[in-house]
Amino acid sequence: MHSVLLLIPLSGTCLAQQLDLTNKDAVLKAAKAAVWPLRMFFDDNTHSNGAWVEQWDDGSWNVQWHESGEYWSLFYEYMLHSGDASYLDWVDKNMQLSAGSHADFLDGMNPFLETAGRWNDDIGWWGIATMAATEAFGKSAIVAKNNLQQDFNPTYFDLTNNTFEEIWMGWNTTFCNGGIWWSRSRTVGTDAQKFYKSTITNVEEMELGARLFALTGVAVYKERVDEIYAWLKSSGLLAADFTLYDGLDSRDCSINRAVYSYHAGCLLAALSFMYQSTKNTAYINDAHKLLDAIKRQLIDSNSILSIEPSCAGTTCQKSPHGYSWAVYRGLGNLFAYSPDAAVKSSVSSIIRASAAKNFVGCDSNWYCIRNMPVGTGFTLQNGTNVRDQFETVAILNALSVVNGGAAAVAAPGATQGVSNNKGSGAAVASQTGSSKSAAFKFNAAFVLQVVVYLLV
C-alpha cells in the first residue's frame, strides 16, 4: 500500500511534524500526543462545574457550554479508537460534576438551567459525548467508576437515554406538523426563539436515536429517528438536493435558509448508523446524497473541509468556528458503514486533505494551539486558542477511523453486561481491542480498493 508522508515545516525552517496519514498506528500515536494539549489548560479555566469557563467576567466568550459537551466527546471517542484510558478518571470526574445526581444535564429539568443556555440542542451535544462513552465501555458502564458516590454514578447509557428523552419532550406536531423545539421554554425568551424549530436539535436527536438503536435494538429509537427524518423532508428543511437549512419559525412555518456544516455532520452520522443496524439501503443512499451536498457546499477544490456557507469572511468570530467537529465525526461514520468503495475513498481523501491543511500549525509535540492577541474572542484571556486543539483531535479521531481503527460502535449487544465498574484501563483496552480486530478484517478486504492518495 502506497504511504504518504506528511512533512510539515515549522516556520519554514525545521520539520516539526511527520505523519503518515494512511497509517493507523502513527495516527493513534499522534492522537495520544494531541490529547495532552487538549487537556492541559482546562483545570485552570473552569468554574468547577465540569465545563470550561463559558464567559469571562468582562462578558467575552471562551468555550460555550454546549461546546464543552463536544470537548468531552473528543476524549471519549479517542478512548474508543485507541483503548487508551489514561484520561478516563479525569474526564469522568468532570462528567460526574456535570451530570449531578439526576442522571441528566439539566439537574433534573431545573427550570433555571432549562432557560439559561441549556436548550435542547445544547444538551444534545453532551448526550452525544456520553453516547461515545457508552459505545466505548458498554451499556452498563458507569460514570466515574473510581469515585463512587451515592446517586452520582449513573451509567453513560442512562445519561444518554435520559437526554434523548428530555429532548424528545419538545417534539410538537401542533405547529408545522412536527419537529422538536429549539428552546425548552415556551414562556421565556423572544417569540422568534420560543417558536423556532432548529434543524440542529432535530438532527442531534436523530444521531442519538440512531446510535442508541444500533446499541440496543430498541424499536422506539428507530421510530423516532424515522419520524423526525420524515418531518425534515416534508417541512422542506431538507431540500431535494440535500441542502439542509437552519430551521423554521413555527408561527408561519417559514424556513431560515442559512446553512451550517454541523447540521450535515449529525445527519450523516444518523443515516450511517441507521444503515449499519438495519441494512435498509434507503438510509445509505440518502447518506451518499448528503455527502454529495457536503462536497458541493463545504469542501473546496483541494478536498479540504473549509467552507462554511453562512459564516463566510468575518461573520464568525470563532476560529476555528467549531462547526466542523461534528462533520469529521459524521464523515468517519459514513466511511465505517458505507458499502460503497468510491464513497469511502472520497471520504478518506477529504479527511486526509483536511488533516494535512490543519496540522501545519502543530509542533513536534502535537501542540497545535495558536497564541492570538490578548482579548481575541473565544480564547483564554491571554489569547491562547484552545479551540485549535479541539479541531486537531477531531480530525485525528476521524483519521483513525479511515485508517481502519476501531469502528465507531461495537456490534449491537457486543459490549452489554461489561461494566467498567470493575476494571481498570485494561478492561477498556481489551474491550476496544476486540472490536478493533473486527475492523482489521474489514480493513484487509478494503485495502485493495484504496485509491492511492496523493497529497497535493
Ligand X SMILES: *[C@@H]1O[C@H](CO)[C@@H](O)[C@H](O)[C@H]1NC(C)=O
Residues that bind ligand X (CB under 6 A): 41, 44-45, 161, 165, 172-174, 186, 216, 218, 371, 380, 382, 384
Shorter beta-carbon distance to ligand X: residue 299 or 380: 380
Minimum distance from CB of 216 to ligand X (Å)? 5
Q: Are strands 14-20 and 5-10 parallel, antiparallel or unpaired?
A: antiparallel
Phi-psi region of 51 (alpha: psi -120 to 50; beta: other; left: phi over 0): beta
- Integer Cα distance of 282 and 265 in angstroms: 18
Minimum distance from CB of 220 to ligand X (Å)? 8
Shorter beta-carbon distance to ligand X: residue 37 or 320: 37
Can you read off the three cell numbers belonging to residue 261? 456544516
Shorter beta-carbon distance to ligand X: residue 18 or 173: 173
Can you read off the three cell numbers belonging to residue 360? 501545519
- Integer Cα distance of 202 and 250 in angstroms: 14
With a CB cutoff of 8 Å and minimum separation 6, the contacts of 366 are: 17, 30, 33, 34, 36, 37, 392
- Integer Cα distance of 413 and 429 in angstroms: 18
Shorter beta-carbon distance to ligand X: residue 145 or 197: 197
Q: What angle do CA 207, 293, 439 make, to 5 degrees?
A: 50
Minimum distance from CB of 139 to ligand X (Å)? 9
Minimum distance from CB of 194 to ligand X (Å)? 9
- Integer Cα distance of 225 and 244 in angstroms: 16
Can you read off the three cell numbers belonging to residue 25? 498506528
Task: Give, as one character, the DSSP assignment of residue 309.
Answer: G
Shorter beta-carbon distance to ligand X: residue 44 or 57: 44
Shorter beta-carbon distance to ligand X: residue 281 or 371: 371
Can you read off the three cell numbers belonging to residue 29? 500515536
- Integer Cα distance of 421 and 146 in angstroms: 8
Minimum distance from CB of 394 to ligand X (Å)? 22
Minimum distance from CB of 165 to ligand X (Å)? 5
Shorter beta-carbon distance to ligand X: residue 143 or 305: 143
With a CB cutoff of 8 Å and minimum separation 6, the contacts of 168 are: 180, 205, 224
Minimum distance from CB of 250 to ligand X (Å)? 8
The span from the first CA to the last CA of the chain, in angstroms, equals: 18
With a CB cutoff of 8 Å and minimum separation 6, the contacts of 365 are: 33, 36, 37
Shorter beta-carbon distance to ligand X: residue 223 or 241: 223
Minimum distance from CB of 421 to ligand X (Å)? 18
Q: CA 401 from chain center: how many Å?
A: 13
Shorter beta-carbon distance to ligand X: residue 309 or 413: 413
- Integer Cα distance of 297 and 259 in angstroms: 9
Task: Give, as one character, the DSSP assignment of residue 361.
Answer: G
Minimum distance from CB of 94 to ligand X (Å)? 16
